């Protein structure tokens, strides 16, 4: 033991191997980079597949690099799976049989222990026979009721299945017929390009489809919204801006595959003033009405009524709802959206079982108290838009011509107020690409572009008519379009010309119709324009109007560009 301890305490000398390399200090300090890749060295390099379309062999550009070394299947099953339910059922059956056998043995054991009289045995048997007869009668009545239900339900189920199949087939046939009738328009949408753009700076709008519902002749187009998932589907809100001619409204959803008839039709008791389609749940449509109510329609359900609707009991606006905007789901994964109304409130609605509201903002005209019959005289909200990157920040346009910048985190505080227009702000929208830029328009004939950190506008454009709506293009940060009451569509590209529109085109007769709203398609180079007669016109942008900005080499290399 003593010798072992001494060996550990003694110092050891390191012996140098004979084949060790002699390296200098610089070679020892040299950094050697080693790159690890996920490529499989044993994967085949040249794989070809036969294409029946081109009738040739073509090499595959991508090869599966996954290499499986071990596959071990487990013997555990999830407790909520079908296999687990069947296993529990089998175990329960075995236990039940076991308990029955044990109880039977105990009863026999007791029968051996005690004496039974014949009268008691007779009474027990008679009671058992009576119970069996009652059970038989119950089974007969239940079976007769079930037979009646089956005889009633079977024809309706088969009839509904047949009708649904017939509806799908008829829809496809109708689209085929419509496409054959309007084949020239479909060809223009896919292939036509205006060659005149090569010789001029401006552009043109090519008319494509025209949408109109015969039962909505006296209604105006009050809102437009494209579906983000199905890019050929868009929603149309129909109502009236004239408070003396208020009545019923409509919510229509069209597809460019069939311009003759709407895909979905919902009739409403009040005028539809605004709508918004959920970006992820594309079957949910939020709608605001002239009577102050808001509702949510589910396109999956075969019903003409909304799944959720506010009322006087659940809470609603006291003035018309001018705009609704879907938001991200809350912490409990509940869908929610915001609405703005002329009563001066911005309200958040959450879809649970009934619509619940939470008032975020009530804007006052001034800090001085006003002695009126009302408790608080508030600004009349007109339009709203939320920031693309910062979810809490939003802009609110009012009927007094002001634009308020606020946050959902501060319910009674305004971050900044812009004296934007001399009349009501009809639309305010953040830019899709630049986080500081937004645009606004008004009936005072102007369109203004702002930097939200600066109190004055960067650009002001006078369009010589009341501007009903303005929209940014989804493909470029410098392209936007506006519609005016004289029937013209104005398309600007600030990258090409900062002073004049590249396109000013009359699309409806200015003496009889006024344009109300405009929307860019999220994917295709087309726009839809609505007027006050219920018509929706679709146009294709010429090449000069849909130029994408050029990306500089500094941006591609990752260097910051000032």
pLDDT for res 368? 25
Looking at domain 195-550, its CATH superfamily turns out to be: YVTN repeat-like/Quinoprotein amine dehydrogenase (2.130.10.10)
Q: What is the pLDDT, as a whole number, of residue 112?
A: 46
Fill in the DSSP letter of residue 451: E
On whether the CB atoms of residues 240 and 554 are closer than 8 A, the answer is: no
Tens of pLDDT, residue by residue over 197-217, are 788 888 899 999 999 998 888
Which residues are 78's β-sheet partners? none
For the segment 95-124, the average pLDDT, to the nearest whole number, is 54
Q: What is the pLDDT of residue 233?
A: 93
Give the model's pLDDT for residue 290.
92
Question: What pTM, to 2 d.p., does this model score?
Answer: 0.66
The 10s digit of each residue's pLDDT in 1-34 is: 555 556 666 777 778 888 888 888 888 888 888 8
SS3 at position 131: helix
Per-residue pLDDT, 373: 24
Q: Where are the domains of the chain?
A: 134-181, 195-550
SS (H, E, C) 158-196: HHHHHHHHHHHHHHHHHHHHHHHHCHHHHHHHHHCCCHH
- Indicate whether 411 pLDDT > 80: no
Question: How much is the pLDDT for 127?
Answer: 85
Rounded distance between C-alpha atoms, residue 91 and residue 84, angstroms = 11
* Model pLDDT for residues 514-560, shown as the tens digit of each residue: 999 999 999 999 999 999 999 999 999 999 898 887 765 444 444 44
User: Looking at the predicted structure, is the pLDDT value of residue 249 above 60?
Assistant: yes
Higher pLDDT, 377 or 549: 549
pLDDT of 353: 59
pLDDT at 362: 42
Residues 285-302, mean pLDDT to the nearest whole number: 91
Given a contact cutoff of 8 angstroms between Cβ atoms, the answer to whether 223 and 272 are in contact is: yes
Decide: 492 and 473 in contact? Cβ < 8 Å. no
Tens-digit pLDDT profile for residues 332-349: 888 889 999 988 888 888
Please, are residues 536 and 522 in contact by the beta-carbon 8 Å criterion?
no
Q: In terms of C-beta density within 10 A (0-12 exposed, 13-18 middle, 19 or more buried), how is residue 125 classed?
A: exposed
pLDDT at 472 over 60: yes
- What does the mean pLDDT of the chain come to? 81
Q: How confident is the model at residue 501 (pLDDT cuts 50, 70, 90)?
A: very high
User: Which residue is associated with the tokens 């900005």?
Assistant: 549
Tokens linked to 454? 């600066």
Decide if pLDDT at 141 tops 80: no
Judge contact between 440 and 425, C-beta under 8 A.
yes
**Per-residue pLDDT tens for 48-65?**
888 888 889 888 888 888
Flag whether pLDDT at 480 surpasses 90.
Answer: yes
Residue 363 pLDDT:
38
**What are the structure tokens assigned to 263, written together?**
């895909």
Q: Residue 45: pLDDT above 90?
A: no
Region 419-427 average pLDDT: 92
**pLDDT category of residue 144 using cuts at 50, 70 and 90:** low
């Amino acid at each position: 033991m003593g010798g072992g301890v001494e060996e550990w305490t003694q110092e050891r000398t390191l012996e140098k191997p004979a084949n060790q390399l002699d390296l200098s200090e610089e070679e020892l300090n040299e950094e050697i980079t080693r790159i690890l890749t996920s490529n499989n060295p044993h994967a085949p390099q040249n794989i070809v597949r036969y294409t029946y379309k081109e009738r040739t062999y073509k090499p595959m550009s991508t090869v599966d690099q996954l290499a499986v070394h071990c596959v071990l299947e487990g013997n555990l099953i999830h407790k909520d799976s079908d296999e687990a339910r069947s296993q529990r059922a089998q175990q329960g059956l075995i236990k039940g049989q076991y308990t029955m056998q044990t109880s039977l043995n105990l009863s026999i054991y007791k029968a051996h222990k005690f004496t039974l009289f014949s009268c008691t045995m007779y009474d027990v048997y008679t009671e058992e026979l009576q119970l069996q007869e009652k059970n038989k009668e119950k089974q007969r009545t239940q079976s007769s009721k079930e037979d009646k239900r089956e005889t009633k339900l079977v024809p309706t189920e088969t009839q509904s299945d047949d009708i649904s199949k017939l509806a799908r087939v008829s829809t496809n046939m109708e689209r085929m017929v419509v496409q054959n009738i309007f084949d020239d328009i479909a060809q223009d949408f896919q292939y036509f390009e205006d060659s005149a753009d090569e010789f001029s700076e401006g552009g043109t709008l090519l008319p494509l489809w025209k949408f109109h519902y015969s039962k909505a002749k006296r209604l105006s187009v009050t809102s437009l919204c494209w579906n983000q998932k199905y890019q050929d589907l868009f929603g149309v809100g129909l109502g009236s801006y004239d408070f003396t001619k208020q009545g019923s409204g409509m919510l229509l959803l069209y597809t460019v595959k069939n311009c003759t008839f709407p895909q979905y039709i919902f009739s409403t008791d009040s005028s539809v003033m605004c709508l918004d389609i959920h970006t992820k749940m594309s079957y949910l449509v939020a709608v605001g009405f002239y009577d102050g109510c808001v509702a949510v329609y589910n396109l999956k359900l075969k019903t003409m009524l909304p799944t959720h609707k506010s009322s006087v009991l659940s809470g609603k606006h006291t003035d018309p709802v001018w705009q609704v905007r879907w938001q991200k789901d809350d912490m409990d994964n509940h869908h929610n959206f915001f609405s703005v109304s002329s009563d001066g409130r911005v309200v958040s609605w959450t879809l649970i079982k009934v619509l619940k509201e939470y008032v975020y903002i009530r804007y006052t005209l001034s800090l001085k108290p006003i002695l009126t019959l009302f408790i608080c005289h508030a600004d009349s909200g007109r339009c709203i838009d939320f920031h693309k990157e910062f979810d809490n920040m939003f802009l609110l346009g009012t009927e007094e011509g002001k634009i308020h910048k606020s946050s959902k985190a501060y319910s009674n505080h305004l971050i900044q107020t812009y004296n934007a227009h001399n009349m009501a702000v009809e639309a305010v929208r953040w830019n899709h690409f630049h986080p500081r830029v937004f645009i606004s328009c008004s009936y005072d004939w102007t369109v203004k572009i702002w930097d939200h950190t600066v109190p004055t506008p960067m650009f002001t454009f006078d369009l010589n008519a009341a501007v009903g709506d303005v929209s940014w293009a989804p493909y470029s940060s410098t392209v936007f379009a506006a519609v005016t009451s004289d029937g013209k569509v104005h398309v600007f590209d600030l990258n090409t010309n900062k002073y004049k529109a590249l396109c000013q085109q009359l699309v409806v007769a200015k003496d009889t119709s006024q344009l109300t709203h405009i929307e860019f398609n999220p994917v295709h180079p087309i726009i839809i324009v609505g007027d006050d007669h219920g018509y929706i016109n679709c146009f294709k942008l010429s090449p000069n109007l849909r130029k994408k900005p050029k990306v500089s080499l500094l941006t591609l290399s990752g260097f910051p560009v000032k």
